[in-house]
Amino acid sequence: MFKGPVENKNEAAMSELVPESRQKPVVPMKPVGINANLLGYIGIDTIIEQMRKKTMKTGFDFNIMVVGQSGLGKSTLVNTLFKSQVSRKSSGWNREEKIPKTVEIKAIGHVIEEGGVKMKLTVIDTPGFGDQINNENCWEPIEKYINEQYEKFLKEEVNIARKKRIPDTRVHCCLYFISPTGHSLRPLDLEFMKHLSKVVNIIPVIAKADTMTLEEKTEFKQRESMPFAVVGSDKEYQVNGKRVLGRKTPWGIIEVENLTHCEFALLRDFVIRTHLQDLKEVTHNIHYETYRAKRLNDNGGLPPMTSETEENHESNL
Ligand code: GDP
Ligand code: MG
């Protein structure tokens, strides 16, 4: 055990427990009475303000993917989530990608600003999942897209002259739309979630919940443990003197943000207001890390070679 300098007998006994005995540091005295309990203030809590300033300056990326049969209201729900109140600035960093296979995956970027904070939002649309007659392995192009984004990130990360801030195209959250007509999960839904939950955060939603009766909805949700039965709309209506997003039916207006009508507001709060940072962290620390470890392992512990890193190797010789 390490023993520090022993100055007197009393402290010698203490040294058994304390690695080093030394005089209590002299704290510069402040006039007593002004704010005595601030005497030892270090300023740890200012980290919050520092982080706030940084986020204000740099903004952040958030990439959300929607998957489900065509016509289930995917595009509408995304519009509902990131609706009008936020000012839509330029979409100068638009990026489109196409995989000409069973599904065509398309990423569209928006810059959304609210309260001085910029979010670079990418919506990755996967039209018509499971629309084919034969849907065997139809999740593969989606899994491939997700992995390609991890690969891109990994290549940037292992690059010798790596960027200070690696552009993040990784899918942070995948909303999976379940048809309200089946009254339960189809084998394809289960297959998708089983395979994809290993590579991405999946949030299942029951689509077009307004087309089900209350009993159907409750039963479906309980049986399958589905938290969110949602309704989407980008149309506004006047209800009790307030403008609300809703769907007009012959029986009345379904308000998307009214919790007695559907769980859209719960989904919005979960994805944006309480778990956005968590979704990003789980993507980075779990899904990406798993990909990265596997990839580096497959490569005998070496980083994957890219044409860029090869160039850098040459220029560094
Ligand atoms: P996508 O193919 O999954 O992107 O579906 P869309 O967003 O294009 O919507 C398909 C159709 O369904 C449109 O006519 C929408 O107005 C309608 N729709 C979207 N969301 C809802 C909903 O929550 N309830 C109902 N009843 N209709 C919806
Ligand atoms: Mg669509």
**DSSP 8-state class, residue 247:** E
- Whether residue 96 contacts residue 108, with contact meaning beta carbons closer than 8 Å, is answered with yes
Q: In what order do the strands lie in the sheet with 173-178?
A: 87-88, 106-114, 117-126, 60-67, 173-178, 202-206, 228-229
The residue whose CA is least distant from atom 17 of ligand 1 is 73
pLDDT of residue 300: 73
Question: For 269-297, how does the pLDDT look when each residue is reduced to its tens digit (9 = 90+)?
Answer: 999 999 999 999 999 999 999 999 999 88
Q: How far apart are CA 300 and CA 10, in angstroms?
A: 58
The residue whose CA is least distant from atom 18 of ligand 1 is 73
Q: How far apart are CA 181 and CA 192, in angstroms?
A: 18
Which ligand 1 atom is nearest residue 76's CA? 7
pLDDT of residue 106: 86
Q: What is the 75 CA–ligand 1 centroid distance (Å)?
A: 7
DSSP 185-241: --HHHHHHHHHHTTTS-EEEEES-GGGS-HHHHHHHHHHHT--EE------EEEETT
Q: Considering only CA atoms, which of 283, 302, 281 is closest in space to residue 291?
A: 283
The residue whose CA is least distant from atom 6 of ligand 1 is 73
Residue 119 structure tokens: 């979010």
- Whether residue 100 contacts residue 141, with contact meaning beta carbons closer than 8 Å, is answered with no
Q: Is the dihedral of CA 169, 145, 227, 129 positive or negative?
A: positive
DSSP 85-154: TSEE---TT-------SSS--EEEEEEEEETTEEEEEEEEEETTTT-SS--TTTTHHHHHHHHHHHHHHH
Three-state DSSP class for residue 164: coil
Which of the ligands is closest to the CA of residue 125?
2
Q: What is the pLDDT along the chain (317 residues), one digit of tens a residue?
A: 444 444 444 444 444 444 545 555 555 555 555 555 667 889 999 999 999 999 888 999 999 999 999 889 998 898 888 874 333 333 333 333 332 333 478 888 888 888 889 999 898 988 788 887 888 888 899 999 999 999 999 999 988 888 888 999 999 999 999 999 877 899 999 999 999 999 999 999 999 999 998 888 888 888 888 889 999 998 889 998 998 999 998 888 999 999 999 999 999 999 999 999 999 999 999 999 999 999 988 877 666 665 554 444 443 33
Q: How far apart are CA 74 and CA 86, in angstroms?
A: 19
pLDDT of residue 148: 97
Which of the ligands is closest to the CA of residue 256?
1
pLDDT of residue 214: 85
Which of the ligands is closest to the CA of residue 68?
1
pTM of the model: 0.77
Q: What is the 77 CA–ligand 1 centroid distance (Å)?
A: 8
Residue 129 structure tokens: 């999942």
Cα R_g (the chain), whole angstroms: 27
Which ligand 1 atom is nearest residue 70's CA? 2
Which of the ligands is closest to the CA of residue 106?
2
pLDDT of residue 3: 43
Q: What is the 152 CA–ligand 1 centroid distance (Å)?
A: 33
CA-CA distances (angstroms) from residue 8 to 12, 24, 99, 297? Answer: 6, 15, 77, 57
- Whether residue 260 contacts residue 252, with contact meaning beta carbons closer than 8 Å, is answered with no
Question: For 186-232, how does the pLDDT look when each residue is reduced to its tens digit (9 = 90+)?
Answer: 999 999 999 999 999 999 999 999 999 888 888 888 888 888 999 99
pLDDT of residue 222: 86
Q: How far apart are CA 231 and CA 216, in angstroms?
A: 15
The residue whose CA is least distant from atom 11 of ligand 1 is 71
- Whether residue 61 contacts residue 74, with contact meaning beta carbons closer than 8 Å, is answered with no
The residue whose CA is least distant from atom 20 of ligand 1 is 73
Q: Which residues line ligand 1 (CB under 6 A)?
A: 68, 70-76, 208, 210-211, 231-232, 247
To test ligand 1's pocket by mutation, which of 65, 76, 124 has the most ligand atoms within 8 angstroms of CB?
A: 76
pLDDT of residue 306: 57
Tokens 């955060």 identify what position?
Answer: 201
Q: What is the 233 CA–ligand 1 centroid distance (Å)?
A: 8
